[in-house]
Structure 1
Amino acid sequence: MFSTTIFIVAAISYFRITDALTFHERALSPTVQIPSPEYVKLLNHSILFYEAQRSGKLPSDNRVPWRHDSALQDGLIINNDLTGGYYDAGNYLKFTFPLSYTIFMLSWGGADYIEGYQLANQTNYLRNQIKWATDWLIKAHPHPSTLFVQVGDLGVDNNYFGPDSNIPIPRPCFQINETNFGTDAASMAATAFASASHFFNQLAQSKAGNQEDSKYAETLLMHATQLYNSSHNIFPYSRYQTSVHAVEDAYASTDYMDDLILSGVAMYRATRNITYLDQSLELYKATAGISSHSEPLGWDNKWGALYVLFAELMLDSPDHSEALERRIDAENYLDNIVSGITVNKTNGGLLFWDFFSNSNSNQNAMSASHLLLSYSAKVLRPLSEKSSDKDTMLTKIKRYEGKLFIHQLDYIFGKNPINQNYVVGELPNSPKYPHSASASGFKTLNEAIKNPSDLSQAHIIYGAMVGGPSKNDSFSDILLDWTQAEVALDYNAPYQNVLAYQVMFNPKSPFYVSDIVDSNNQDEKPKTVSSPVPLWGIVLAVVLPVLIFISLFTFLLIRRRNQKDTEKEQSSSRNNIDQEERTIRQLGVDEFRSSGSTLVVI
């Protein structure tokens, strides 16, 4: 299927240090001094949603009071501890393939928008959010070529819709290994490890970082390297459902090449070893139709991420022709989204890919938004600084950061034909019946079927973005409608990245909140703050002269009044003295003294 050249390239084991001109990590600096309180809250709630999805023994600082320790025997039947991690969606299964995508996305956004998390005081929550996932992924990778890809039985789990305290056991555990491999799952896990390693290294260099972050990054990179080597050197390449049939009805993979290439990109970002990038580019170019993919970025399709990341990584390459080709690929993909060539829109304006958006339309809209914003911030804006045609570059920037992206987020927040907010717990028009067994409060599936609208025992799973509407903008806020009302780890990942971007670059709150401070045009962000002088400085500059004038005028007025009073007192005193002198003349000095008065001589 692929030329022998690919396999030769895949077997390369030596590494040379990257040319310093190839890639410079560009840290994004916030243009907002005080973030929107609403976006800070939304960002916090998205992280809180993941905490509500935790499996295993909960930490002492657990912030979700209705969750309990759960699934404490995971892995016991195969003598491999698989407790912990996150439940994938509305039930209690754990899947490695979509979890790896989630880790990749959160780490990507976490590294790029780390200062946004710091502005929002969410950095430690983000650290714990990603680490809770990677700690489990480490457990799921006990040997270089062994990876557990599922915990729990789909048939059993789908028939249980009760609390986390009574999850049915036993819970089978499924793995891929050297003899029954899965190139896609192993590659994507390598990507997750490498991306998280890159994030923790970035975190270690930030104000909120520490030495433990650096050490943890090294541990993650070790696991990434092992899985990368296995996925590139175990032949023939294969999809993991050929080895683990249990995943076929849940998260079957359509291809492995995007995962294989992405693992090299992630390894290059984490290590700066150019061989990883060279190998990924060779595989990329050898793949038929590499530049014609139009699928939305999601757990099964990563081509959109590849286009954007290749363009970023090659931005400073001395091979200008190669760098330009990668930007052309990225902009073809993104321009086709913005122009509506490869994607439709609902009448309300939500991006909607036929087939792909049938059960997760919101995720696809948010992942497209993430790609547009990332490409603009990490590629277009650096180019605009040295471009001879800045007007053209700024037009592109406005195109990617402008109305389309804003409309997607506004749609999620309720600016749509049915005025439906799609994030649980945020507004009165948020979903009331998200498909979440743990939050529903029901004890059995039969109870949920008989009384699906009973909220008497339900809990609010704050921050969860549900699957989303259909192509005609309709939405079923129905507990057991998993196609539209389910919550899932991969749904929230790109949404959270967009929120972190907003915290960094948009001082405005969402449309449903009164604007606090903003004179900026949304189509021109990220940019410098609208004025180098803060608002309090402007107010002080205007008010202070007025206060000084009023104070001076009052002082002069009082002084003049005092002068008049003094003159009056002096006049009165002179009259009294004159009267005393007349009395002396009349009575004589001796008589005056005998009266007890004091003689004043002027």
Structure 2
Amino acid sequence: MALHLMATAVSSISINNLTIVQSANLEYARLLSHSILFYEAQRSGKLPSNNRVSWRHDSALTDGSDVQLDLTGGYYDAGDYLKFTFPLSYTAFMLSWGGIDYYKGYELANQASYLREQVKWATDWMIKAHPSRCTLYVQIGDVRLDNNYFGPDTNIPLPRPSYQINETYFGTDVASMTAAAFATASSLFRMFASVTGDQKDAAYADLLLSHGVQLYSCSKTTNFSRYQFSVPTVKDIYASTDYLDDLILSAIALYKATKNETYLNDALSYYQLPDWRTNHTEPLGWDNKYGAVYILLAESLFNTSDPQKSIQSRKVAENYLDGIVSGTSVNQTKGGLLFWDFYSDDNSNANAMSTSYLLLSYSRQVLRPLLAISPTDQEAISAKIKRYEDLAIRQLNYMFGMNPINQNYIVGERPNSPKYPHSALAAGFNSLADAIASPTDLSHSHTIYGALVGGPAKNDSFADQRLDWSQTEVALDYNACYQGILAYQAMYSPNGPYYETPTSSSNPTTAHAPNALPTWAIAIAVVLPVLAACLLGLLAFMFLRRRRQQPLRQKSEPSTRYESDEGSTLQQDGSPKDFSQSSPVSQKKTSVDLADQGITLPKELLTESTTQRAPELGQ
């Protein structure tokens, strides 16, 4: 497949004390192109005439027919055929953010036009999913049916129901995050218009902004709530733990898109609520946006007329990032990978990449400009810049193979890249049964180039097995920040990425055989086949479990409005829902002492599920 990888020569330009390279490193250009190609492999709906992924087909062409809407298109979320708005909007937001800040990197790598199509494929569907002011479709597909299918895109099981939030049964989190994505994508397309002079891009930017403004207005004026209470089916996959971070992020994004101070004031007013916390340590991801809020607010207030606000916002952002760099808020594996207990259990690479993105962004947008205007603090600021940027690049190098097992985590890039990504699209099986019976069969598989897989365990071990979704699954949100870092490198790095040749230790599950078999080991050899069978059964069980939900942690909720937890009883046709067949979700009462914080939670929130799992086969 021919890809446009020729680097574009330019004169050296310095932005924020960073020098843009004269031409993009060819390897970073290739990696960037492959990340975009991964998203093209995830496309749903009718594929365009210029489709570059030859093994993909038109698919899911009846999406939305149950609600008399065209909801075809968009992207499949991960290694499956479901579509979810919450992680998609986060993905579109991050891709747009990176596209704005590192646009020159895309240009130098000749990928700017592909970036445009990449983001537009997401936002075109998001427009369809937002048919009226407060209505937003948040899931397409049946989780149980999808869990039982691991075949090609030509036989995706039906029905594929459509699930919405609306003014009566709302979701502040997903509506706000989608508003943020619309606003940031609007800024990106306005940049495209300014570069190319294409007024179609300017008109599209206006359209995106109008959708963002509408959803933000709904989020402000509708009772605050998390969307799983309105659409219970998402609870086992993409349940939200908070909405204030999304609400603040959408206000910041709209401020950056419009320069309207009202949005910035909104962000500050939400930020200063007693329920808001400035001491979050969670990694940036589809659910937790605190880190992005801290960094973007500090950037937005950098040149404010109120220096105290600017200083305070920088303090909060640097407390967050310093905790990461110093190791007080997150651990590192022995190999150097940032690893959050709980959060990194099934997507360790994505968390490391999102954090690296924030480190590089804050250094470029805040610290380096600060260095230019703070002559008395040069040494301290320079040292912090180095710490932030060095840690970020070390995380990227870990993805490329600078780790104890010399494992590259990007599919299709190197001899030591994953061979068995958890992707129904690329695996080439006809059914789930075939995948379980022959998980290492590559005879009909396709290479899903550029996909960042879930990542290693806390001990730096990695099982390259399709059945181990927690380590080998691919997903839209996994690549979003990784791609932004690649664009940063294409823009600023004169050198190529770190690579290390695979060694015999590349497979952590392979032990060196001893020279002689101990006598006691004979008994083990006798029962080994039984143990192997048990292991295969366990792996199959893991495969059937639904994949990448994050168990809810009890968090303080805004007490300024009542958050309903009754859930929607509304079918899409307006008739009552029947929950008699709903899969059980474990409910645990959580003892939460928030009295000292002056926070009162609705009593129903104290019995929310704190440990969630997806429905399993046979439930």
2:105 pairs with 1:105: no
CA distance in 2, matches of 1:271, 1:120: 29
What is the deviation of 1:170?
A: 1.3
Q: Which runs of 5+ in 1 are unaligned?
A: 1-25, 515-602
- The structural deviation recorded for 1:373 is 0.3
Counterpart residue identity of residue 229, structure 1: S
Name the CA distance, whole Å, in 1 between partners of 2:221 and 2:215: 10
**Aligned equivalent of 2:212:** 224
SS of residue paired to 1:148: strand
78, 82, 102: which one pairs with 1:89?
Answer: 78
Q: AA paired with 1:200? A: F
Is structure 2 residue 266 aligned with structure 1 residue 291? no
1:261 CA displacement: 0.9
**1:256 to 1:289, Cα distance in 2 relative to 1, 3 A:** closer
Report SS of the residue matched to 1:286. Answer: coil
**Residue identity matched to 1:242:** F
Work out whether residues 27 and 112 of structure 1, in 8 Å CA contact, stay in contact via their aligned partners in 2: no
In the alignment, is the contact (CA less than 8 A) between 2:353 and 2:481 conserved in 1? Answer: yes
Contact kept? 1:376, 1:400, Cα under 8 Å: yes
**Equivalent-residue separation in structure 2 for 1:342 and 1:466 (angstroms):** 24
SS of 1:467's equivalent in the other structure is: coil
Indicate which of 353, 356, 362 corresponds to 1:375.
362
Does 2:313 align with 1:326?
yes
Percent of aligned pairs with the same amino acid = 63
- DSSP-derived class of the 1:175 partner: strand
Q: Secondary structure at the match of 2:20?
A: coil
Higher helix share: 1
Find the counterpart in structure 1 of residue 399 from structure 2. Answer: 412
Residue of 298, 302, 315 corresponding to 1:311: 298
Partner amino acid for 1:466? V
8 Å contact from structure 1 (residues 89, 486) kept in 2: yes
Matches within 5 A, 1:130-279: 130-206=119-195, 208=196, 210-235=198-223, 237-279=224-266
Q: Does 1:433 align with 2:420?
A: yes
Is 1:128 aligned to residue 117 of structure 2? Answer: yes
CA distance 1:289–1:226, change in 2 (3 Å):
closer
Residue 433 of structure 2 is aligned to residue 446 of structure 1: yes
Q: Is the 8 A contact 2:71 2:128 kept in 1?
A: yes
Partner Cα distance (1:451, 1:431) in 2: 17
Correspondence list, 1:28-43, <5 A: 31-43=20-32
8 Å contact kept, 1:36–1:503: yes
How many Å separate the matches in 1 of 2:406 and 2:186? 41
Q: Is the 8 A contact 1:103 1:192 kept in 2?
A: yes
Number of residues paired by the alignment? 486
Shift of 1:27: 8.9
Q: Does 1:496 align with 2:489?
A: no
Q: Which runs of 5+ in 2 are unaligned?
A: 1-14, 502-619
Measured against aligned partners, the alpha-carbon deviations of 1:97-124 in whole angstroms (never above 9, x if no partner) come to 0001001100100000001100000000
Cα distance in 1 between the residues matched to 2:147 and 2:19: 44
| Partner Cα distance (1:170, 1:130) in 2 | 28
Q: What is the Cα deviation at residue 209 of structure 1?
A: 5.2
Q: Confirm or deny that 1:366 pairs with 2:353.
A: yes
CA shift in 2, pair 1:159/1:28, >3 Å:
farther
**What's the secondary structure of 1:382's corresponding residue?**
helix
Residues 434 and 477 in structure 1, CA contact (< 8 A), matched pair in contact too: yes
1:289: how far off?
Answer: 5.1
Letter in 2 for 1:273: N
Whole-angstrom CA distance in 2 between matches of 1:72 and 1:291: 45
Query: Which protein is bigger by CA-based radius of gyration?
Result: 1
TM-score, normalised via structure 2 length: 0.77
Instruction: Give the whole-Å Cα distance in 2 for the aligned partners of 1:30 and 1:157.
Output: 48
Q: Report the TM-score when normalising by structure 1.
A: 0.80
Shift of 1:203: 2.0
Deviation string 1:474-516 (CA, Å, 9 cap, x unpaired) is: 11111121111000000000000000000011011012289xx
SS in 2 for 1:449: helix
Partner of 2:607: none
Q: SS state of the match for residue 164, structure 2? A: strand
User: Take 1:348 and 1:262, find their aligned partners in 2: how far apart are those partners?
Assistant: 33
CA 1:339–1:463: 2 relative to 1, 3 Å: same
CA RMSD, aligned part only? 1.3
Q: Does 1:53 align with 2:42?
A: yes
Alpha-carbon spacing, 1:513–1:421, altered in 2? closer, same or farther (3 Å): closer
Contact 1:198 1:270 survives alignment (8 Å): yes
Q: How far off is 1:469 after superposition? A: 0.5
Q: Is the 1:29–1:115 contact (alpha carbons within 8 Å) kept by the matching residues of 2?
A: no
The equivalent of 2:65 in structure 1 is 76
